[in-house]
Amino acid sequence: MSVEKPNPLDTALYQLKATAEILNLDEGIHNILKYPKRSLAVSIPVRMDNGPIQVFMGWRVQHHDARGPFKGGVRYHPKVTLDEITALAMWMTWKCAIVDIPYGGAKGGVCCNPKQMSLRELEHLTRRYATMILDLIGPYRDVPAPDIYTNEQTMAWIMDTYSQFKGYSVPESVTGKPPIIGGFKQREDATSRGVMFCIREATRRLGTRMKDSVVAVQGFGSVGWNAARILHEEGCRIVAVSDSKGGIYNRDGVNPLSVFEHKRKTGSVIGYAGSKQITNRELIELDCDILVPAAMENQVTRKNAPNVKAQIVAEAANGPTTPEADRILHEKGVFIIPDILANSGGVTSSYFEWVQNLTRERWTEEKVNEKQETMMVKAFNDVYSLSKKRETHMRLAALMLGIGRVAEAIKTLGVWP
């Protein structure tokens, strides 16, 4: 694979093929895993505030449910594609298996620019999209969640739309909802907290410590800014953060809460007092202990990977490292915490929310945090132990663990008829 920024689906299939060969996977099961079980494309007409009707393309891809109902986020982005959604659904399948929760992988997306849409337009878009995928989703079929440029309000609209058609409230139909309707507060930073747990375990294995580590975070959306905040609270020095418009750097460190407030007022991290403006590429190449890519796919490439100076790369985003860059970092001795492990705290938290909704229970914040830490630490140790046993790097070990568990489930169920 020599493409600078490969198609995410090409990357996912390349990973599956390489892992299948190492696992000596049955060819039939490999072929099953190459394709999603179901893909739905929909056109979504929305009357815009200025009068005309605009049609948006949307998708819901369900990869495999051998281990449980489908689970996956819904992203709104102007460059989202079916191939991207399919790859993300596949990665979600492995991710759920790695943390050993009873879900299969799915993903949804709508090609739109939510930054240029009003709240009314977004609500109409969301409810129409939910209506068009209604037959595919549900508490025991497929449970959506937030992703890039969607949030708890988006999930509230999907839940309400689903509930209106059912005739009664079904909070377990989505996760990532506002707490007032069955969500819980910890979901907002669950992915980021999971990243922190993985970084903490990695530093222990490497004989260093997380506290006082110098950290750069690419991406200052929900995952990125919460990761920066939590790592700052744990004693790390956050020297750089960035968003889609660029980044800021201060070698003495910045306070993520202050940066967040600055972005809320100005629309970007750029211009934060006492900082130097840098590009996203410069951030990736900064002299730091820990790099946290928390933006989009294909951010660490063969061009900038040789210049990565971090000892640990914790992939809070999905697919931020291209296969060629992955090899370069591995040869450099960089410890990569792969996306399907590092950012699995989000789906773990979603699982907790779903279980509470199904049983109509309310868990304490302490119980949720304790359960998440236990599951994330176990998942990290499972992957790390396998990497040592098979003498390979963490990404391949994670893929072996996740794909192996899904393959075993399919083998156990059999192929019918």
Cite the active site residues.
Answer: 107
Is the distance from CB of 98 to CB of 23 less than 8 angstroms?
Answer: no
Is the distance from CB of 43 to CB of 56 less than 8 angstroms?
Answer: yes
Q: How far apart, in whole angstroms, are the C-alpha atoms of residue 360 and residue 107?
A: 26
Q: How far apart, in whole angstroms, are the C-alpha atoms of residue 27 and residue 113?
A: 41
- Pairing type for strands 214-218 and 290-293 reads parallel
